Structure 1
Amino acid sequence: MTKLPPDENHDKESRARLDALLATAVDGIVIIDKMGLIQVYSPACEKLFGYSADEVVGRNVKMLMPAPYRQEHDGYIEHYRETREKRIIGIGREVVGQRKDGTTFPMYLSVGEGTFNGDSMFVGIIHDITQRRYQEHALREREARLSSILETVPDAIVIIDEVGLIESFSPAAERLFGYAFADVLGKNVKLLMPSPYRESHDSHMERYRKTGEKHIIGIGRIVVGQRRDGTTFPMELAVGEISVGQRRLFTGFIRDITERQGTERRLQELQSELLHVSRLSAMGQMASALAHELNQPLSAIMNYAKAARRTIDGIDDPQVERARELIDKAGAQTSRAGQIIRRLREFIEKGKSNQAFENLNRVVEEAIALALVGVAETNVKVTVDLEAGLPQVLIDKIQIQQVALNLIRNSIEAMQGGALRDLTISTRRENDEYALVSVRDTGAGLAPEVAANLFQPFMTTKEQGMGIGLSICRSIIEAHGGELWATPNEDAGVTFSFRIPVTDREEVDENG
């Protein structure tokens, strides 16, 4: 091996170090002279731009730039040579590069100036930021989607840090509490709470930080919120915990249930009203049935009393006279009992209901809501098919809801223990004269002996039933000028249907 002079050894060593640096550098490195001609072009640049070093060394660096940078570059170089005014040298910035195939990509360019043999040279370090731009774009899209969700989601969303300071406050939260985001940012979330929650909140947070014992996190519950104006409202609060780096954040999802509680109160009132009417109807039906059943034995007693009176009429004896007097009194009381029963039946039969024109679909919907309270665990699949555009009907709303409620409840009970539990409730117009309501189940169906007497008083298949529910239902529907009947389904179960006549308002007004 020939030993080089000291200077040559130094130059060769420096060149080897430079080649190693260029070969291993992840970022592209381009060195140009004062005229902008490429002198050094690293392997990373070959991958980045698609040109080999042989294709670019000695050529103007502007070939790596798209318009308008390509047309402007020589002017920048000349301006710098004349004025020494720096626009990018010593300053990194994002620009655009152009590959051999004409495609462009974003890059971060850092330019430094040096000298070689007394002439200026410029070193450019090029970092491809395509992936970063993609990530930034994806992040902006995620932020836009999140912002859109926060803008449109009806529930309020509040995010706090581990000491309870508010970091995010959705538009729904602004509307719900009356605060703007800027008003609550960085403030303790307890300002959204009335006493005594406000005073105890910080201690709850501190206890959770120390013990990890959860009181509300991961568990939804109903609490009370306080608006900016000091008014309070019931709300359903669900809190979740998330980790962001080394930080813990808590996200609260808040739903105003003021309207829901009002609806629940209305349902409870309606249910109480239905129960009251149901009891009155049951009492009336029982009284009517008892009157009918007692009238026959009372008539028999009267006949026996008259026969006994005729038997002793020809006997002249003081004791017989006393018996005759007692028989007359018994006959008088029997007659009086019969009159009471007749008056009771007349009172029941002549009793008028509180009828008005109603939207039948709405009446049925309310009955469905009442009937389904507390039956979620029965796993009944409910299908509601209400025909639009039904005319209003002249009905006693409470009584018709009582009928629908009773039929729906009966159907649900009939399906207990069955594998198939499908309940279909429907309404439709029938022959322009009637509105029809049907309740179809997939229960065990009806035995022939039961079906024959289904609507008779005191007929029941329930162990603790009195057997007057369906009888009352039929009486109510018949009092409305309609019909109630049951039809076995071909596959399984029974369909109970009732029709109510459609009455013209003008006809009602004319008849007074």
Structure 2
Amino acid sequence: MKAPEFPATEHERQRSLDKLNITDTPPEERFDRLTRIAKNLFEVPISLVSIVDKDRQWFKSRQGLDACETPRDVSFCGHAILGEDVFCVPDALEDPRFYDNPLVTDAPHIRFYAGAPLSVANGQKVGTLCIIDTVPRTLSPKEFQALRDLADCVQQELTQALLIETTAELTARESHLRAVLDTVIDGIFSIDEKGVIKTVNPSTVKLFGYEEDEMVGHNVNMLMPEPYRSKHDAYIHEYLKTGRAKIIGNSRELVGQRKNGSTFPLELSIAEMEQSGQRTFVGVTRDISERKAAERLKVEFVSTVSHELRTPLTSIKGALGLIRSGVIGTLPDKLGAMLDIAYSNSDRLTRLINDILDIEKIAAGRMPFNNTAMRLPPFIHQAIAVNQDYAATLDVQFTFTDELPDISVHADPDRLMQVMSNLMSNAAKFSPKGAAVNIALRMVEGRIRVSVSDQGPGIDKKFQHKIFEKFTQADSSDKRQKGGTGLGLSIAKAIIEQLGGEIGYETEKGVGTTFYFDLPLAPNNISNNRSTALKNNTRHILICEDDPDIAALIQLMLHNDGFVADIARDAKQAKHLLSQTRYSAMTLDLDLPDQNGVSLIRELRDNEKTRELPIIVISATANEGKLELNGDTVGIIDWMQKPIDQTRFFQGLKRAMRDTANHVPQILHIEDDPDVAQVVAALVDDMAEITSVGNLSEARTLLGDKIFDLIILDLMLPDGDGQQLLPFLKKTRNSATPTIIFSVQDTTKETIDAIYASLVKSRTSNETLRAVIRTAIDANARTKANGEGMPNPG
């Protein structure tokens, strides 16, 4: 016996059979009528409508047979469904496939079989109409055709059943879909390629105030105010022509117009589909008036919180910082310790407020970014300087591995500094005492990678999957030994992604963790404006030192205090730099590899360009050099032995700065909070005279009467927005005076283009504010000397 093979499309055939829902159903007269006709027409004892299932053949209709099913592996019908034509076995005992088949050797003792396959709409054969006899016989061509015709009638009944069931199912689905469309709160409509409305649901009627028949058949631009109305048809035409989509496939916030002419904010999503060869666009829209109102209230609340918390915190932190720096003299140890605690916690509270407000801005998509081309190596040095004091309290130091000495990115320096400070402070916080945190800069797959690596305990596996989520901390124990809000990495991730980059980490338990971010290269190098500005900067220092560690230390000290510094490794390089750049002062090691430092001093004094250059000698042989010059020490500010006395070093630099300029810069500070004004005045006491006013009216009067070297402006003033002053400045003698925004508010891109710098109070340390003020004053002095316009920080 040969069991029937399975068709190559058995899986699809079985799916088609399942869709019929016919197996194991009761007998039906429409099928029984056809098997009776076949039995009588062909004068056979058995006639069947056989359905070939997975492992059986089941009889939907049977004449002359008691069994309702038999196994598929002994079935004749299993063979019949493998072909297209009627399958006929004249004598089963003479056929090698069937002579020992149990259906032949036992009841029902099949000798003759003829079966016509039954196909459904997709061509799959699900069974047969078959006739069986207990004696051998053959069929004439007319009988073959008659059996095929009867089988076609069975097929029609099967297809009709499927059609009836499918129609019922579609009707039910349509009713369900219509119920959904009629009750959903969103407005749903469809339009054709010309923008003509085809259908609308009740929510669309309610949303726009038109009746259904007032919209259907009309252009959808009737639901839009200008300028959307005029542009809509052109947009559809452009999309159909080019395939470039602006709205289709996306969700956007737009403005809708009701029948009564009123407008409202809405959110619109449009999808495209094809029906009968015609394109149809389906729009889903929702009134977002309440959401917008809530967002406005939220913005107003955040603005109030920002001002009412940040402003007093700025005063508190600034005043504490000044006292700790010794501005009122030496403090008792106990008082100093208490001040340290107060300062640390004011700083902690400031960071908490900043983080919470930043998270809110990120969620609302309102975090401002002012991207510009920026060189990364100097930026990394600045980040190290900003975070070094915190690391020192933990007995941790930063190192920098720079594989890209002249690489640039297009980013917001303030936001990027926020990311760096978070990564660096985290690394320092989780590092053991005496360890080093390495910052590295290199190229990875065509992008710039900045990485921060610590030697800490690594990140536990249970925290790794959620490390960038809000309020997540690896140290979440009750003791909270490491402190922090758990918001920093979430904010860092959002910032880096806004800058077009990616952030990630690598960690190994007990070895350490590296956090990194990748940024795209800037399209162009940094503008030459900054290089030119540096060459003429009146606070530009040349370091002539052959020891790379000492040179880096001096450069870091200078960067921390707002100076720009270049390094020369020998006398030849120093003379080359001096020929190219005008420096404010120079530090000099006497033990240079290519020339004695004393002879270099004499050479510089003989050169008219460098004759008056202030020099601070920093050398292990400073005393010997002083004796060798034999009193000829004109322009030598100080002779310092190594190691460097930092206090004495900066005292010398200040003397050099005073020697190069006698003008006392004049600053106008427009600030309504007297505490903040007092702190800023104390910060700049040694570099400028400051005049403070509390409103715009007083500021306008002073600006009309006097020329200032710098204006420091708060934006939230009692008689108006500080930005109102910027157009007024252009009409006064202070039109070229640089302006620094110092406020609790972030500054818009338009305002930044019109000012020198923008600083947020709660994010700006005393040192940063002082450095920016000093740089602005120096830049203004240089601009006046050269007869140029308002300086730009570059």
Q: TM-score range by the shorter chain?
A: 0.3 to 0.5
State TM-score, norm by structure 1.
0.38
Q: Between Structure 1 and Structure 2, whose CA radius of gyration is higher?
A: 1
